[in-house]
Each structure stands twice: as structure tokens, then as C-alpha cells.
Amino acid sequence: MLYIIFTTTDIFLFFLFFEASLIPIFLIVLIYGSTVRRVLASYYFFIYTAFGAALMLTAISLIFLECHTTNLLILEVYSFSPIKQIILFICFFFGFAVKIPIFPLYLWLPEAHVEAPTEGSVLLAGILLKLGGYGFFKFLINFLPIGCTYFLPLINVLALSSIILASFIAVIQVDFKKLIAYTSISHMNFVTCGMLSLNFYGIIGSILMMYGHGLISGGLFLCVGLIYDRYHTRLLEYYGGLIVGMPILGSLFFILTISNFGFPFTLNFVSEFLILISITYTN
């Protein structure tokens, strides 16, 4: 399924498999969730995903009605009017922004992460969140450049607001999975800023950020899952002294944690530095 998403040149086929790839996560959260809130979390996930899917399908329908094709190779040489580019950009942007997710469309992610088992959280952080960034790269940058330029200031405000808001919410969390989930929102909004900045440093930084976030957040969720299997708690207050009882896991946990907050010379530090340069250069 993911192979088709990353290789197809047909927009409608991309849309079908893009949305179908979310079904396993929905079922994992609904069936194997850790508490009774799994039903609420799965419904949050479904409602937000359906909202994004409806907007994307609207954009694809408008494209087909005008061009009579959904082949991206043909559409890239087709010249849409500025007004149509702006309309299509809005539909595609919010369709992908739900997956990032960006403010105010982020409420489903903490719920899904907390309720999902470890495997579901790793899949969600390592693969599915990156589909939104890939959608920005594949469709918005080359396909709708006028829309990117027109909405860039607003997108930067939304993304930077999401970064700051998610960071402050992460600080007050007592559940480790929720903490990682909110840091994921912050990091993926860095991806949004860099990817849609339309310059080299931002795009490279966003690609590095997606790669680093997948490895680091996925690793943190694995560590939390291993500890939860042994002690049946995710509360931070019980994680003191971990290095004494579990030195290897504690050391790995420490390395992943400092990488997650962008310690100098880690991949997150490099990618965030490039993205911040791109934002400054663009503005």
C-alpha cells in the first residue's frame, strides 16, 4: 500500500491508498487500545481523517472536471489560473495538514498515540505522519506554487503557533506517551514551515526532520512500551532511577530524549537549524 503511495503518478490512486493506509491504525486503536477511551480516540481519528479526505476528494474532482485526467505528469505542465490554484491549494493543504497535524486539527493525535499499543504508536509516528509531509512535497510545491506563495505567511503563523502551543502543552504532561505525542506535533510543524518555504534549505531540513522524527519518536515509543510492559505505568514520576535498574534501556532512552529536543549535532538539531534559516531567508 505504501509502495503505491510513494510511486504512483495518478492523483486519484494516490488518494485512495493514502486514505486506505489509515484504516489499520484506526482498527489497531479501536480494538487494541489500552483503556476505554480507545473508542473516543478512534472516532477522533476517523472524523479528522474524513474531513481531510473530503477536501482532497473535492480538489481531485475539480481537477478532473477541468483537465479530464488525474495523471500528475500531465497536470504538471497544465497551467491553472491563480484563483483555481488557490482553491486547490486550500483543499490539498488541509487534507494533508490533518495528517501532520497543524493547529487546530491536532486533537486526534495525542488521543490516538495514548490509546494505541506500542506497535500502533511506532507506525503512526514513523510512517503515517510522514505522509502529510510527502503530500506537501509531491503536490503543493511543484503543482501549486502560486498557492504556496500566497498562503505562506498564514501557514508560517499557523505552524509556528502549533510549535509553541504543542511545546507548552508537552511541558505539563505527566503521561510519557502524551509528552512524545505533543513533541511530535511540534516537530512535524517544523516540517510544514520548511517544506512550504519554497527554498532549498527548508526542503532539505524538512526531509531530514521527517527522517529523524521517525527514528527518534519511534524509538521513544518503543522504550516507553518496554517499560510499560514491565511496570504498567506511563507516569513520569515513576521513571526516576531507570538507569540503575535498566542501564542499557536507560542509556538508549537518554540518547533518544536529547535527540528529540534537538541537542547540538543530532539530526533534529541540524534539520531545525536549516528550517529556521529557510524561514528567515523567506521572510
Q: Which residues of 252-279 are buried (b: 16+ CB within 10 A; e: fewer)?
A: bbeebbebbbbeeebbbbbbbebbbbbb
Number of domains in the chain: 1
* The residue count for the chain: 283
Domain holding 29, by residue range, is: 2-282
| Per-residue model confidence (pLDDT) at position 283 | 55
| Per-residue model confidence (pLDDT) at position 202 | 86
Residue 203: name the closest of 191, 215, 214, 211 by CA. 191
| Per-residue model confidence (pLDDT) at position 118 | 82
Please state, in angstroms and rounded to a whole number, the distance separating the CA atoms of residues 107 and 17: 24
- Quick one: 7 exposed, middle or buried, by C-beta within 10 A (0-12, 13-18, 19+)? exposed
| Per-residue model confidence (pLDDT) at position 282 | 58
Residues forming a β-bridge with 175: 235
Residues forming a β-bridge with 10: 71
The pTM of the full predicted model, rounded to 2 decimals, is 0.86
Dihedral (Cα; 166, 105, 81, 152), 10-degree rounding: -10
Per-residue pLDDT of the chain (283 residues; tens, 9 = 90+): 677 778 888 888 888 888 888 888 888 888 877 677 788 888 888 888 888 888 888 988 888 888 888 888 888 777 778 888 888 888 888 888 888 888 878 878 888 888 888 888 888 888 888 888 888 888 888 788 888 888 888 888 888 888 898 889 888 888 888 888 888 888 888 888 888 888 888 888 888 888 888 888 888 888 888 888 888 878 877 777 777 778 888 888 888 888 888 888 888 888 988 888 888 765 5
Please state, in angstroms and rounded to a whole number, the distance separating the CA atoms of residues 278 and 171: 27
Which amino acid is located at 86 in the chain? Answer: I
Please state, in angstroms and rounded to a whole number, the distance separating the CA atoms of residues 112 and 138: 26
